[in-house]
Amino acid sequence: MFGNITSWFDLKGFGFITVSQHQAGGISQQQFFFHISNFKGVRPVVGAYVTFETGEAAKAGKALQAVGVRFATAEQIAAVAETGVGTGVASLAKASM
| Domain residue limits, the chain | 2-95
- Position 27 scores a pLDDT of 81
Residue 9 pLDDT: 97
Question: Could you report the per-residue pLDDT of 12-67, keeping only the tens digit for each?
Answer: 999 999 998 877 878 888 999 999 999 997 899 999 999 999 998 878 888 889 99
CATH superfamily membership of 2-95 = Nucleic acid-binding proteins (2.40.50.140)
The helix (run of H) or strand (run of E) holding residue 83 is helix 74-83
* 47 phi and psi angles, rounded to 5 deg: 100, -15
